Every structure is written in C-alpha cells, then in structure tokens.
Amino acid sequence: MITPVVNAIAIVIGSLIGIILKKGFPENIKKILFFAVGLSTIGMAINMIIKANNFLIVLGSMAIGGIIGELINIEGKLKKIGDSIKEGDFSTGFVASSILFLVGPLTIIGSITAGLTKDGSLIYMKSLLDGISSIVLSSIYGLGVMLSAISVLLVQGSLVLLSSKLSFLTNPLYLNDLVAVGGVMVIGIGLKILDIKDTKVGNFLPALFISPILSFLTSLL
C-alpha cells in the first residue's frame, strides 16, 4: 500500500508548489499555460483513443455512463463543493487531474503489479510524472488538483488491494477500450481548458466502470 501513498504525496507537494507559484504569475503567463495544458491534453487523449479495440464499446460506455452521471449530477455536486470553499475552478481541477492521473495503462498495470509482485517501480515513476503535472495544473486550477490526491489514494489503493481479482484489467481486451474511454473524456477536459466547450466531463465518470462490463459482454458473443 506504500505506492498509492507515495503517489498521493507527490501530487500534494506538486500542487502546493503550483498554488504558491500561481500568485506570482502575470495574466499573459496564465493564459499561455492554459493553452499549453489544453493542447497537450488533447494530444494525450488522441494517443489514448487510437489504441481502442472496439469504438462501439467506447461509445456505449460514454452514453450509458453519461446518463448515469447526469442522473446523479456528479458535476453539480463537485461544483457545490468548489463554491463552498470559494474555489471557482475546483470541479474542473479535481475532475481533470483525477482523470489524467488515474486513466492510463501505467495506473492499472503499475498498481496491479505492485499488489501481485510488490514491485512498485512503475508507480514511483508515475508519481514523479504526476508531481510535475500537478505543479502546472494547480497553478491554473488550485485546490481541486491537490484534492485529486484523495482519488489517486482510493483508486490506486483499491487496485493494489484487489490486484489478484482485478488482474484481468491488464488484458488488452479490457485495458485498451478502458483507456480509450478515458481518452475521450480527456478530450472533453482539453476543450474545457481551452474554453471551447464545457462538456461536463465529471458526469461521464461512470463510463469507466461500464467499459469493462461491455468488453466482457462483447467477448461472450
């Protein structure tokens, strides 16, 4: 369980640095950072999506997950939390960083490997990358990025603890479409960061749980 703790601490430290730096950034620097993060996010998303096995699974996961998210109103609940702590971009920062830090093969394979073999090297490498990314993200979005460390701790901790039962997720049959679903959501994040369209990405979070189910059902056909 030390690996998710290390990853969460790296995000907290990076976020603190970003929040401190945020106060000294002039407006034009903040604007160019938005563009840098937004464009890079979309580039990362494309790389995640092109590995999909079956785009119908991706579409189905997004549709079903989106409906569930709308009914629960995940995005609205996150916005209320942000409003209560006077962080206007809390929901964007929390959702964007949580998805970027958690949806990827490194998270799934690294956490399950740590649980099965006690080798945490992949997650330690990911911790360094997440720490650097959180500096940039928190300099834009603030506290929401730091609190994504809780998501990382819970999700990666669960993957480590349940690694013997979740090892099937490392199979490309499940992994590729799950990562592609995350990629589509990351495009939504990029569009929001670039102020092109608010896609309420938070409401699509249930799609990440729907994807493995659809992949399994499809494999039975």
User: What is the rounded distance in angstroms from the CA atom of residue 113 to the CA atom of residue 122?
Assistant: 8
Residue closest to 122 by CA, chosen among 179, 160, 149: 160
pTM metric for this prediction: 0.78
Q: What is the pLDDT of residue 67?
A: 95
**What digits encode the pLDDT tens for the residues 126-165?**
898 888 889 888 888 888 899 899 989 998 989 888 888 8
**What mean pLDDT, rounded, does the chain reach?**
85
Q: Binning pLDDT at 50, 70 and 90, where does residue 100 land?
A: confident
Q: Binning pLDDT at 50, 70 and 90, where does residue 51 land?
A: confident
Domain ranges of the chain: 2-219
Residues 6+ apart with CB under 8 A from 91: 75, 78, 79, 81, 82, 144, 202
**Rg of the chain, C-alpha, whole Å:** 17
